[in-house]
Structure 1
Amino acid sequence: MVNGDFAKLTRKHGIKISAGFACTVEEIGLAVGEKVGHGSIKSLARMNSAVVIFLDQVEKVNCVIETGITKNGQRRVIHSLLSGTGQEINNRAKPDQEAGVQELQTALQGMQGRRAPGIDGLSVEFYKAYWDVLSNDLLDVFNESLASGSMPVSCRRAVITLLPKKGNLQDINNWRPVSLLCVDYKLLSKALATRLGRAVEQVIHRDQTYCVPGRSMVDNVHLIRDVLEVSSSLDINTGLISLDQEKAFDRVEHSFLWKVMEKFGFSAGFIAKIKNMVWRKDGFKYLGVFLGKEIVVLKNWEDVTEKIEGKLSKLDVSNSETPGLTVALCRSKTLCLQQLVDAVGPELSDAQALGSLLGLHSVRVAQRILQLWSQILCPEEKRLLRSYGQGGARPDPADPFPEIYLSPGLGELTGPLL
């Protein structure tokens, strides 16, 4: 049946569809494209999607389905989450078969070099150089591990480090956590991902184009354009909503993923292989320091923290012996070594000048601060300061005095004092 707002589409553009006529979405899309004049539409599938969205707006889709939209003589749901059956996935992608040497070699050749290795220190270049020696043994380990459900230790451990993004790096949100994985884990996961990639086209809706082989995100742009054009031609009020979920990957539970894969028709064997690739909590010692989430006794850290604190105490001049130094430096806007040298001299000896600069009432405290700073400087750094004070050297704005260090990470004369 053609009724209500759906009939408006036919009358407005002279599309003749008689009452009770069963037609496909493709036929409607072709008719609308011809009549409306969408010469820029190169893909009939995009027009079909635009018509489906229009039908969803004016007929709530289910009404249209109930009144006779069919495909190949069978009734169908226009927006179906499943576009194939499990049997089709298994026959085409064969995700359950054992790994082969050629499959692993193809995955290895597709991996980029010059990347940070995992905790074992073995890089991609190492595996490529010695692949003829390692391939068969590595294949046996992978197949046995997948069959038994227990991956090697190197595949269960990753060291997480932080990489700066942009903006204020004092904000933890501006740092991106990156997991340093061992190459053997990445090799196996890439091989399994390739298998999965051969099946995703069957289970992922055609409007989702990212990371699906043979699809382009440009199609989504064209689809939005076509929807707007159809809506404008049919006098439909249309709005666009853009949703961007923060940390989307962290919001998906593994149990949900397993159920979705089962619903899409993946076999229990392939799902078990993917489950085996999930990291587990596994703390261990590396250079005397525990890594991981295991609860460790505090005494395991005592010798480590004692050594670290000893090193830091030599570098940190804002300790308990000089309380309020950070506040005084910030209040007086004395934030770099150049300002300090200009005030107290290259020998760092004028305690009264420092007291006046920082607003310190005690000359003894000012002397103690200068002594701490002087002790940090090596003879070469002191020579550079004297040369600067005598006019023999001036700070280069691009790289001023890179040898001067007063605190961890300080590498320039204009860097922070603390």
Structure 2
Amino acid sequence: MLSGVRVVSFTHFLQGPSATQLLADVGAEVIKVEPPSGAFERTWSGPDAFLEGDTSVFFLLGNRNVRSLTVDLKDPAWLEVVLKLVAEADVLVESFRPGAMDRLGLGWSRLHELNPRLIYCSLSGYGSDGPYRDRPGQDVLLQSMSGLASATGSASTPPTPVGASLVDQHAAVLGAFGILAALHGRERSGVGSLVESNLLNAALDLQIEPLNYFVNGFTGIRSESGISSPYYKAPYGVFATSDGHLTLSLNSLETMAAVLEDPWFAEVGEHRSYERREEVNERVAQHLSQQPTDHWEQLFARHRVWFAPVNTYGDVVADPQVRHNKSFTTFEHPEAGTVTVLAHPVTYDGVRPGVRHIPPDLGAANEDVLRTLGYDSDQVELLQSSILSRRASR
């Protein structure tokens, strides 16, 4: 769908690479610009997860379908290469700290003048200016400062971040969304634009419901009985069974009275289900603790109760709906062997985009990109030798 769109990517960590991978999955030509030492995620992986050949799983999960161009931005000859590349590009995406691209001579003002049709997307922690501009932006830090951690968990537990980098990923999706909107706008105006997405905005956007309740005067309280939202009525949240756990969501008290054969729920009355939510949740917990998970799953399924199992990652990978949706994909890597990663999250005419190109070796596209930009064999050899020299000196 984005065939013919060229994206120049100055990104690292997760937010930036994930955003550009979304674009690459649907056909954009994404050229990942890396220093001679390679992007950060080539040598880092959260739980030290490296496959054969010291291949970082963290790198593999966010860099499929892209090409790698290794450059030395301290070398004027390589800066000229990048400027030529940007002059012909449709999109530039960067996830450096605010001001870094300006210091490199690659800021929005200069590149907009060079290529007025360029969409320039800046991904950051807090935005390009403001009092937190220079703070480090990282997922769990934003979960904390955005209120997400303090809203998670029961009343007796400390603030609790969720177990995934959801702020990074949501910011990536918002960045990709902004780029697509700007590309559409350019079709009408003929002029590019500056797009910004940041972790703070993403963390707040994830909380569109509770934050809007709060700013309009409704103050929620974390539940002692484990209701997983300060703002939702009971029964809601995770409940222990005699051999595991189940989650219930948005079921009326009339439904619970009928399914659990307990008229107490109906006596409480739907209009008081928030006011008396702790009592309701505790009563549900008493019932569910008496029987195993399988018993409740079968009963709830028959009565169309809204419920879900509390799956481990092993359960998720084996889940029949996840498998039916083809949510994971595999590819063969020359060093790491068979690699499994999450697939592109959207289908188009019932099909998920596949892996056209595996995550690239460092600088694999150098010669091809240089020749495409008009450099002859001698110039290519000279530029390449300068990169090898820089790499050897590190």
The TM-score normalised by the length of structure 1 is 0.21
Compare CA radii of gyration and give the structure with the larger one: 1
Greater helix content: 1
Tell me which protein shows more strand as a share of its residues.
2
Q: Which has the higher contact order (CA 8 A, sep 6+)?
A: 2
